[in-house]
Amino acid sequence: MSLPFTLAGKRVYVAGHRGMVGSAVVRRLASEGCTVLTAPRAEVDLREQTQVREWFAKEQPEVVVLAAAKVGGILANASLPADFLYENLMIEANVIAAAAASFTQKLLFLGSSCIYPKFAEQPIFEEALLTGPLEATNEWYAIAKIAGIKLCQAYRQQHGFDFISAMPTNLYGPGDNFDLASSHVMPALIRKAHEAKLAGADSITIWGTGTPRREFLHVDDLADACVFLLKTYSEDGHVNVGSGSDIAIADLARMVCEIVGFAGEIVYDTAKPDGTPRKLMSSDRILSMGWSPNSTLSDGIASVYEQYQTSNF
């Protein structure tokens, strides 16, 4: 495959276009001069092999961004192990195999930083994959994502397909899930602080001890990295995509409360899980290729809060 790979004039399928990541990728592709293809779930259920094969045979996408996944925060991951493992395995296997069967020129698979061992040395380089046990709260999702990386590598090695993988850190941005039972921490904190402010409450309760550290990246930065990798990367190894710094959940909660304008107390529900103590990735590989993120955490949170107040989540 010759690089840089051109998107202009190509038919680019974004799987998962209604999700936070997929919708950001669709927005970013608007300036690439390509035709963006999407398929509503009512038309193609990505867990169903025949539907996926038939759709690919009919639409013949030349490029695929695989952003479709069953996703959720720490509690959803821990309480729905069968759904997270089965649905993600099916989606990946069906889309990657259908892309190969219809001779898609390039495919980008999106994973997650939870693929790395729970106690991986920090910052986590790509080589840390499969060097230790996973974090229990998300091992089901992580195993499915590891299988997706390996499937891309297997098609590359056995059949020469240009299938690549990117591993984003914890993401946030427009289109996030604000349901408190199933969301990730960022939308949960924004919603809790906002509702407490409106109610004149004295405190908000957040999960765990507040000591775990997480690295956050705005989803528009990830979408930009996806386009960058599609155009410039064509190798076997997966590529980390992060912001380069992490923050303790307690400090994040304070930052969100300040942005939202809630001055009450933060209470910790330690019956809820902490998850991985820390997962700061090294993004040296993509930085050395010439990509870097644009958003700062505080600006990113402020813009999401603005959107949250004006939308019907």
Catalytic residue positions? Answer: 141
Shortest Cβ 43–ligand GFB spacing (Å) = 28
Q: Fill in the DSSP letter of residue 47.
A: T
Shortest Cβ 134–ligand GFB spacing (Å) = 10
Residue 10 makes contact with ligand GFB by CB under 6 A: no
Residue 217 makes contact with ligand GFB by CB under 6 A: no
Residue 213 makes contact with ligand GFB by CB under 6 A: no
Residues in a beta bridge with 165: 109
Alpha-carbon distance 124 to 143, whole Å? 17
Which among 4-12, 31-39, 125-133, 135-143 is the span making contact with ligand GFB, rule CB under 6 A?
Answer: 135-143
Residue 144 makes contact with ligand GFB by CB under 6 A: no
Beta strand ranges found along 169-212 (DSSP E) = 170-172, 203-207
In the list 23, 94, 112, 177, the residue contacting ligand GFB (rule: CB under 6 A) is: 112
Beta strand ranges found along the chain (DSSP E) = 11-15, 35-37, 63-66, 106-110, 162-168, 170-172, 203-207, 213-218, 239-241, 246-248, 265-269
Answer for the pair 302, 252: CB distance below 8 angstroms, yes or no.
no
Q: And the tokens for 313?
A: 């989540």
Alpha-carbon distance 135 to 117, whole Å? 7
Which among 5-13, 57-65, 96-104, 207-215 is the span making contact with ligand GFB, rule CB under 6 A?
Answer: 207-215
Tally: H helices and E strands in the chain: 10, 11
Residue 109 makes contact with ligand GFB by CB under 6 A: no
Cβ proximity to ligand GFB: between 164 and 188 the closer is 188
In the list 10, 17, 214, 218, the residue contacting ligand GFB (rule: CB under 6 A) is: 214
Shortest Cβ 127–ligand GFB spacing (Å) = 19
Residue 188 makes contact with ligand GFB by CB under 6 A: yes
Residue 241 makes contact with ligand GFB by CB under 6 A: no
Q: Decide the pairing of beta strands 170-172 and 213-218.
A: parallel
Q: By rule CB under 6 A, what count of residues binds ligand GFB?
A: 24
C-alpha to C-alpha distances, 66 to 166, 199, 291, 313, nearest whole angstrom: 10, 40, 20, 25
Cβ proximity to ligand GFB: between 240 and 276 the closer is 276
Answer for the pair 25, 14: CB distance below 8 angstroms, yes or no.
yes
The strands making up 213-218's β-sheet, listed across from edge to edge, are 170-172, 213-218, 246-248
x-or-dash string of contact with ligand GFB, 54-83, rule CB under 6 A: -------------------xx--x------
Contacts of ligand GFB in 243-272 (CB under 6 A): 249, 272
In the list 14, 185, 219, 227, the residue contacting ligand GFB (rule: CB under 6 A) is: 185
Residue 295 makes contact with ligand GFB by CB under 6 A: no
Residue 117 makes contact with ligand GFB by CB under 6 A: no
Integer Rg of the chain from CA: 19
Residues that bind ligand GFB (CB under 6 A): 73-74, 77, 112, 114, 137-138, 141, 170, 183-185, 188, 206-208, 212, 214, 249, 272-276
